Amino acid sequence: MSSDTASIQVEGLNMSFPSRSGQVVALQDISFSVGSGEFFCIVGPSGCGKTTLLRILAGLETATSGDVTVSVTQKGRPVNSMVFQEQSVFPWMTVRDNVAYGLRLRGISKKERWKIAEGYITMIGLSKFADCYPHQLSGGMKQRVSVARAFANDPEILLMDEPFGALDEQNRILLQQELLRIWEGTRKTAVFITHSIDEALCLGDRILVMTAHPGTIKCIVNNDLPRPREISTIWGNPRYHGLFQEIWGILREEVLKGKELEASCR
């Protein structure tokens, strides 16, 4: 099904913010491409501009210079839907209405959009909670709703900004497995941001490693772990350990550099 999902071209992206001590360069000369149906992970030390990069891809922020091109496969289809890092499901809507939000904005009738939402609610295992409000759900359940909301909108590309970052490890593993299952059923082009090497290896086809201050591309690692993936078996794969060490080797000096910079600022 990868034929009807988009690819992304990012060319010479730069982003700087004005600050008291002049311009702060957040992103510098970022160029990469994500293939159709690819799960693309971005890993980097905190403060490297990962979130800014994703927000530019999502159209929530405008880059200082550079281009983002998404090859649209179907007219009228939303270009991207984002799963946010923090709690972002609407507290004033039920699970059902949250999942159907994108469809509602596109003018799809209530009956039709509830039918579509139903499928995704079942997929995330919240059928019993379809009419509940978010305050009745746990943090993990809310993030499930957020994931379902993005998938139900059926966008060209999925953007995810550390969606499981705030969850405890056990819930995180469960949700990663669930995301793998849902994604492997749709094979939608996805960009996923994380600071966890493990998460990037479990989910991604390729892993972009970023440097900090300013955020640039350090390298892109090919993750050839076989699909469909099962997180527990991935951990037992010797290739996983090799890749983990390789990426940590690259990342380590960046993290240390970032720490030095932080210390010198104080």
Partner 1 sequence: MSKYANSRFITNTLSVLSPLSLLLLWELLARAGIVDTRLLSSPTLIVQSLVPLLVSGELLHNTLVSVQRIIAGFIAGSVPGVLLGVAMGLSPLVRSAIEPMVQATYPIPKLAIMPLILLVFGLGETSKIFTIAIGVFYLVIINSMAGVLHIEKIYMDVAKNFGASRKDYYLTVALPGALPMIFTGLKLGMGMALILVVAAEMSAAKAGVGWMIWRAYDMFAIEQMFVALIVLSVLGYLFSIALDISERWIIPWKRRE
Contacts with partner 1, residue ranges (CB under 8 A): 58-60, 78, 80-82, 84, 86-88, 90-93, 101-102, 104-106, 133-135, 153
First to last CA, the chain: 51
Alpha helices by DSSP H, listed for 82-230, are 95-99, 101-105, 110-123, 139-152, 169-186, 197-203
Smallest distance, Å, CB 211 to partner 1?
26
CA-CA distance, 108 to 111, in Å (whole number)? 8
Nearer to partner 1, 81 or 211 (CB): 81
Smallest distance, Å, CB 259 to partner 1?
29
Nearer to partner 1, 74 or 87 (CB): 87
Q: Cβ neighbours of residue 118 under 8 Å, at least 6 residues apart?
A: 96, 130
CA-CA distance, 64 to 59, in Å (whole number)? 13
CA-CA distance, 186 to 147, in Å (whole number)? 13
Nearer to partner 1, 145 or 217 (CB): 145
Nearer to partner 1, 103 or 217 (CB): 103
In eight-state DSSP terms, residue 231 is H
CA-CA distance, 85 to 73, in Å (whole number)? 27
Nearer to partner 1, 91 or 242 (CB): 91
Nearer to partner 1, 88 or 177 (CB): 88
In 3-state terms, what secondary structure has residue 25? strand
CA-CA distance, 89 to 86, in Å (whole number)? 9
Tokens at residue 47, please? 């403060």
Smallest distance, Å, CB 146 to partner 1?
9
CA-CA distance, 261 to 266, in Å (whole number)? 9
Count of beta carbons in the 10 Å neighbourhood of residue 99: 33
Say which amino acid occupies 215.
Answer: G
